[in-house]
Structure 1
Amino acid sequence: MTMKLRSALACLLLAAAPQAGFAAGPRIAVVAPMSGNLQVLGDQIRLGAVQAADGKAEIITIDETCTEKSAPSIAEQIRQADAVAAIGFLCVDSLDGGLPILAETKIPAITLSVRSPVLMEDSLKKGWPFFRLAPSTSAERDMIVQEIFAQWKDKPFALLDDGTIMSREMIDNVRQALEQKGMKAAFIDNFRPAQEVQTQLIRRLAKAGITHVFAASDRNDMSVMARDAKAAKINLTFMGGDALNGTNQPVPLEPGTFAVTLPDPQTIASAKPIVEIIHQKKKSAEGYVLPSYSAITVILEANEIASGSGAPLADALSNTPFETPIGEIRFNKNHELSTNPFRMLVWDGNAFVLPPVTE
């Protein structure tokens, strides 16, 4: 065999060989941004997926541009890669128009971020294998209602909105749900957002005898309210929604402020072993790393079930409990998480943590 022929044969063998770090197993597509402002989130998703698939599956990375009408192209790439399933999908545009293509070859798609109710409604009507690891749009509101009902039954409480459409809708939905449970707010009002002080609002609340406040506001507005109440020595307990889970800009959030939000996956007890492994590799387990890891875990287990039974993978994903680093994951008949992932947490000055258990 000539040197030239040996070289050509070596190139062919190299091209046919699996990528380094991959073992024989199902191919799973990971759709996440590879550039731009969202690349950091895409890197988190890819890191989690590769860690979970190590030695068990081959990860096929597909760029997510989040541009309009990009979904069909992404779906074709997934199908041509012969993937059994796909995860990621930070944007609606990456799914809208692509799910029918995936449905043709029965390739399930699991989003880690998209909460659009319309997309899920269409998927259920048309039988598309679309699953949501992200909470539904109603999950936050449902947990807010649950916590107010459980914690503030005997408290004179207020419901406040900042005048925006989303804020007004949240307060109206919470109000109606509580009233259906026989619980009525003592004070309902709106406030002007993005103000340097909210002393007049605090005085109105005190005059009305309010002790507990739920405000559908952003983090800085809540910070200003809590700061001004503290400065006026008016004892008010504040609670907000997922919008409080951000950075201090510019007023720091007062310790003791409550938020119905998603816990940091790194703080979940079952995630500790995986977090330690990732840290040993000098990587961070923040953001989407653990949700991505868990999504791959779910697909691998469901694929084994489907392979053994001969049923479609989407069937194996439905109503099956899967143990993952972020806890048990089970998709209900509507392809949503069967357990609401939102929790009421309290700001301790550095992070939102579980409140101390009271007798």
Structure 2
Amino acid sequence: MTKLAFTTAALLSLVSAGLAEAQGLTIGVVAPLDGPFAILGQQILDGAKAQAEASGNRILPVPESCAPDSGVDVASRLIAGGATAAVGFLCADSLIGSAQALKEAAIPVITLSARSKVLFEDAVKNDWPIYSLSPRPGEEASVTAGIMAGLWPNSAIALLDDGTLNSHELAANIRLELEDKGIKPVLAEAFRPSIDNQKILIRRLQKAGVTAVYVAGARSDVATIARDAAGTGMAIMGGDQLIAADETVALPDGVLAVIPERWREQPAASAIVHALGERQIYAEGYVLPAHAAAQIVDRAQTTVSDKQDLAASISSGTFDTAVGKVTFAKDHFRADDVYRLLEWRNGGFQPPAPAAGKPGQTQ
């Protein structure tokens, strides 16, 4: 970090050479290229490359290690490669060390995953050109609590978590949001995960009079709880950990989920999904968000004038993309929330049936 100013000054001299060689835009794609997260990196590369090539641009792959202080190396590669903008960035560490250098080099960034509250507070304060397609911190809890309050206004609610840090924080934040709305859960506790049955837990919930349950835990645990609650009339809901494959227990029909919009299944994305399919690219994971990020860069560039740089064009524009209409708010996050209430039915998440999730319905 102490070498950042020197590094920036030295690297800025490389910008002109990099730009001279570029044809169209050069979009840096910062993503894991090896290791356990390489599959996610490939999704990002596939989506960004497909969109860039369709627009006459090119991509500059930059490996992302997510190691502390790795941002200096990331910034150096982007600047040396003449990047017009950069997309990807699964880790906050990659941005923390590169943000100032990228600002000075006029290289805006659209991250698909990083959502550190501190990082984005600094981005606003320091005018770093970093924008996020991911939900802002606390958004999942806020949206979930709002949905629960509307769906279960007079129900006896239990909040369960599997004891992991992320799950516990999510459940705790949902509880605070519910209490702000005047709803006090009758039970809020951790459960024992990864066991064959949860009948003891279900009996305890019944004894407490619980009629609606939110489970912050893995899909396998939610499936086990829902299976063992069958016939009790309890409504069961989970979060984005339900976006996974079935393991030993299949997720029963009727389980509710507050999860990010399933963009691949939306009509607006159908043409893009089809075009990707013709290139043998399955639109899963980060493929569509990466495609959307590259699309935003390309569209924003068309509105740049002498009075407006690319970062300003990104921050002030509204863009129709593979993941819906995108506008960035003053906190640099996507303005609209992306979470929706869906129901698992017939092997997939679908809009909930009219009576879905009402306590007393058999799950």
TM-score with structure 2 setting the length: 0.86
Q: Which residue of 2 aligns with 1:204?
A: 204
Any idea what the Cα deviations from partners look like across 1:293-331, whole Å, max 9, x if unmatched?
11111111111112x353121111113211112110111
CA contact (8 A) 1:41 1:288 kept: yes
Q: Which residue of 1 aligns with 2:51?
A: 52
Equivalent residue runs for 1:141-220 within 5 Å: 141-220=141-220
- CA distance, structure 1, for counterparts of residue 66 and residue 103 of structure 2: 21
Structure 1 residue runs without a partner (length 5+): 1-15
CA contact (8 A) 1:263 1:352 kept: no
Are 2:331 and 1:334 aligned? yes
**Aligned residue-pair number:** 337
1:141 Cα deviation after fit:
0.7
Any idea what the Cα deviations from partners look like across 1:239-270, whole Å, max 9, x if unmatched?
11112222223222212111111233211221
Q: Which residue of 1 aligns with 2:11?
A: none
Report the CA distance shift for 1:280/1:94 in structure 2 as closer, same or farther (over 3 A).
same
SS in 2 for 1:249: coil
**One-letter amino acid of the counterpart of residue 351, structure 1:** G
Q: Which residue of 2 aligns with 1:36?
A: 35
Are 2:274 and 1:288 aligned? no
Q: Which residue of 1 aligns with 2:79?
A: 79
Any idea what the Cα deviations from partners look like across 1:307-357, whole Å, max 9, x if unmatched?
x35312111111321111211011101100101111122112523222235
**One-letter amino acid of the counterpart of residue 39, structure 1:** A
SS in 2 for 1:305: coil
**One-letter amino acid of the counterpart of residue 319, structure 1:** S
Are 2:300 and 1:302 aligned? yes
CA contact (8 A) 2:113 2:133 kept: yes
CA contact (8 A) 1:220 1:250 kept: yes
Q: Which residue of 1 aligns with 2:360?
A: none
**One-letter amino acid of the counterpart of residue 271, structure 2:** P
Q: How high is the sequence identity, in percent, across the aligned residues?
A: 37
Q: Which residue of 1 aligns with 2:267?
A: 269
Q: Which residue of 1 aligns with 2:26?
A: 27
Q: Which residue of 2 aligns with 1:3?
A: none
Report the CA distance shift for 1:133/1:192 in structure 2 as closer, same or farther (over 3 A).
same
- CA distance, structure 2, for counterparts of residue 46 and residue 88 of structure 1: 9
- CA distance, structure 1, for counterparts of residue 77 and residue 325 of structure 2: 30
- CA distance, structure 2, for counterparts of residue 127 and residue 254 of structure 1: 47
Q: Which residue of 2 aligns with 1:9?
A: none
- CA distance, structure 2, for counterparts of residue 211 and residue 241 of structure 1: 18
- CA distance, structure 1, for counterparts of residue 306 and residue 313 of structure 2: 9
CA contact (8 A) 2:32 2:64 kept: yes
Q: Which has the larger radius of gyration?
A: 1
Report the CA distance shift for 1:37/1:167 in structure 2 as closer, same or farther (over 3 A).
closer
Equivalent residue runs for 1:215-230 within 5 Å: 215-230=215-230
Deviating above 6 A after TM superposition, structure 1's stretches of 4 or more consecutive aligned residues are none
Comparing 171-180 and 182-191, the one that deviates more: 182-191
Report the CA distance shift for 1:198/1:131 in structure 2 as closer, same or farther (over 3 A).
same
CA contact (8 A) 1:319 1:333 kept: no
Any idea what the Cα deviations from partners look like across 1:135-162, whole Å, max 9, x if unmatched?
1221111111111011111322222233
Report the CA distance shift for 1:319/1:222 in structure 2 as closer, same or farther (over 3 A).
same
CA contact (8 A) 1:70 1:93 kept: yes
CA contact (8 A) 1:112 1:292 kept: yes
- CA distance, structure 1, for counterparts of residue 157 and residue 319 of structure 2: 39
Root-mean-square deviation (CA, aligned residues, Å) is 2.2
- CA distance, structure 1, for counterparts of residue 35 and residue 164 of structure 2: 29
CA contact (8 A) 1:30 1:86 kept: yes
CA contact (8 A) 1:27 1:60 kept: yes
1:358 Cα deviation after fit:
6.3
- CA distance, structure 1, for counterparts of residue 310 and residue 87 of structure 2: 14
Q: Which residue of 2 aligns with 1:238?
A: 236
- CA distance, structure 1, for counterparts of residue 122 and residue 187 of structure 2: 39
SS in 2 for 1:318: helix
1:272 Cα deviation after fit:
0.2
**One-letter amino acid of the counterpart of residue 48, structure 1:** G
Q: Which residue of 2 aligns with 1:11?
A: none
Q: Which residue of 1 aligns with 2:123?
A: 123
